[in-house]
Every structure is written in C-alpha cells, then in structure tokens.
Amino acid sequence: MRLAPQLELDRCPHCQVDKPSLRQLWNYETKTHAGHNLRFWVIYGCSRCGGLILAASSSQRGNVTELYPSGINIDEAIPTKARTYLSQALQSLHAPAGAIMLCASSVDAMLKEKGYKNDSLYNRINKAAKDHLVTQEMAQWAHEVRLDANDQRHTDEETILPDESDAKKCVDFVLALGQFLFVLPAQIQSGLMEAKKHS
C-alpha cells in the first residue's frame, strides 16, 4: 500500500466497511531536529463513517510504513469458533443489530470452550463468575451484551435499535473477554515455558 490520493485498505479500521473510500484530506512532512528521519504524513478520511486514518512513508508516494489506527487483529489463542464469530462481528459493525448477535454468539462459544455448556447463556455467565473464571464486573458487562442480543433476536415494539456505538461496545467487551480467557493465559504459559528453557 502506498501514499496516494486514495488509501487502499481492505477495511476501514473504524467502521470495518469493506473496500472503504479513504480520501486524502491533509499532508505534511517531518524530520528530526538534526534533519534526519524524513517522513511524509497523510491523513485520510473514510467517506462512510468519517473516521480518520494517519499514514506515513519515507518518500512522498512511497510504501506506507506506519498506519494509525492499524486495525484490530484477533489473536489466534482465541478458539476458532469464537474467533470466527468475533471476526464477523467486526466486519459487520455497519449493521449493528447483526454485530451484537454475533458478539453474543462469540461469548457463548468462549464459555462452551471453558466447559460451560449447559443452561442459558445468562446462567452460564453467572456460573463462570461464581467459579471465578470471570470477575463480577465482567459478568455484569456480559449481561449487557447478552440482553442487547436478546433484544435483536426477539423484536419488541419498545426495543430501541442499536447504533454503531452500541455494536462497538459489544465488540470491545468480546475482545476483552477473549484476552482474559485465552490470550493472556497463552502468553503466560509461553513465558513460563521460555523461562524453564533458560533455567
């Protein structure tokens, strides 16, 4: 990917829309106080969500070497089914009700992976908190995600349709839960194994 009037990304790192229109809005060049490390910076705007993306290169139309935000990568330590639902939720933030349902499915898959397979999702979350698999605060947050998912599946005249902000909050929760249940334990295990090699 190169600095150009249109930035070519597969997805917007903000709204996750596929093949976004990212138009150049501003550019600037910088270097160190000693005149080294010349970089060309360009700010792009997503025509769909209005989010801004900052890209840099060492030459005016060169390959992008820095990108902010860089987008979300879902760690391989999260089990396949849960990771797939979460990935689909990220890709459908522009369809908030669907993204929220996919988030609830990802939470369901994570709990099943940890052995919480029977009963309603609500009760399994409570059991996971009681067993100290998750904190009480995480369980409370999970219930908010789940209740929103129920609202989407069982339409009610009083239900307020979620917006992209609601979907983003759900995705943030599921990413945090995945980190807590799978990614951090995998990193700790890897660190312990590495320490054993050197002792």
DSSP per residue, 72-141: ----TTS-HHHHHHHHHHHHTTTSHHHHHHHHHHHHHHHHHHTT--SS-HHHHHHHHHHTTSS-HHHHHH
Residue 148 has pLDDT above 60, yes or no: no
Amino acid type, 131: D
Angle at 169 between CA 167 and CA 175, to 5 degrees: 105
Span 96-135, pLDDT tens digits = 989 999 999 999 999 999 999 998 888 999 999 999 999 9
Give me the phi and psi of 168, to 5 degrees please: -65, -40
Per the CB < 8 A criterion, the answer to whether 197 and 101 are in contact is no
What pLDDT score was predicted for residue 147?
56
Q: Residue 182: which residues within 8 A CB-CB, separation 6 or more?
A: 75, 77, 78, 79, 110, 113
Residue 51 has pLDDT above 90, yes or no: yes
Span 5-45, pLDDT tens digits = 999 998 899 888 889 999 999 999 999 999 999 999 999 99
User: How would residue 156 be classed by pLDDT, with cut points 50, 70 and 90?
Assistant: low
User: How would residue 153 be classed by pLDDT, with cut points 50, 70 and 90?
Assistant: low
Residue 169's alpha-carbon distances to 17, 19, 81, 96, in angstroms, are 17, 23, 21, 10
User: How would residue 71 be classed by pLDDT, with cut points 50, 70 and 90?
Assistant: confident
What pLDDT score was predicted for residue 178?
96
Query: What's the CA gap between 174 and 169, in Å, rounded?
Result: 9
Give 16 or 150, the one with higher predicted confidence.
16
Across the chain, mean pLDDT equals 90
Per the CB < 8 A criterion, the answer to whether 119 and 127 are in contact is yes
